Amino acid sequence: MTETPDLAPEDRKIVTLARSARARNGVPEGAAVRDETGRTYVAGTVALDSLKLSALRTAVAMAVASGAKSLEAAAVVTESDSASEEDRAAVRDLGGPETPVLVAAPDGTVRGTTSAG
């Protein structure tokens, strides 16, 4: 992974997990979220005939299904330069408008951080 020196270790961890999910599953995006207790949820893009979900929305859904009450941070590894409004809305629904969303390139370089709001 390309180092992003100013990234906190906890944030570096979710970027690494998201990158691993993308590579392992051969999907367009990988994502990870960290809940209020520090637990992480990792997912890749879901592309079935009957169900299509981005990696970030899948990770949020996994957190909700596991009982998370809030999110501390989210990360998505993608070719895109930003997280979609739909992805940020899912993060906002669970974590609130100030929840940081890190967007990283496939090599792990964080392109930017935005709030879910």
For residue 14, pLDDT beyond 80: yes
**pLDDT band at residue 4 using 50, 70 and 90 as cut-offs:** low
Q: What totals of helices (H) and strands (E) does the chain contain, helices first? A: 3, 7
DSSP code string of 38-52? S-EEEEE-EE-SS-E
Task: Report the share of the chain in percent with pLDDT over 70.
Answer: 96
User: For the stretch 94-113, what's the b/e string if a residue is b when 16 or more beta carbons lie within 10 angstroms of its beta carbon?
Assistant: bbeeebbbbbbeeebebeeb
First and final C-alpha spacing in the chain = 28
User: For the stretch 35-46, what's the b/e string if a residue is b when 16 or more beta carbons lie within 10 angstroms of its beta carbon?
Assistant: beeeebbbbbbe
Task: Report the share of the chain in percent with pLDDT over 90.
Answer: 94
Contact 33, 65 (CB under 8 A): no
Residues 37, 63: Cα–Cα separation, whole Å: 11
How many other C-beta atoms are found inside a 10 Å radius of the C-beta of residue 115? 14
pTM, two decimals, is 0.93
Q: Given this model, what pLDDT does residue 6 score?
A: 83
Contact 87, 54 (CB under 8 A): yes
The string of pLDDT tens digits covering residues 44-80 is 999 999 999 999 999 999 999 999 999 999 999 999 9
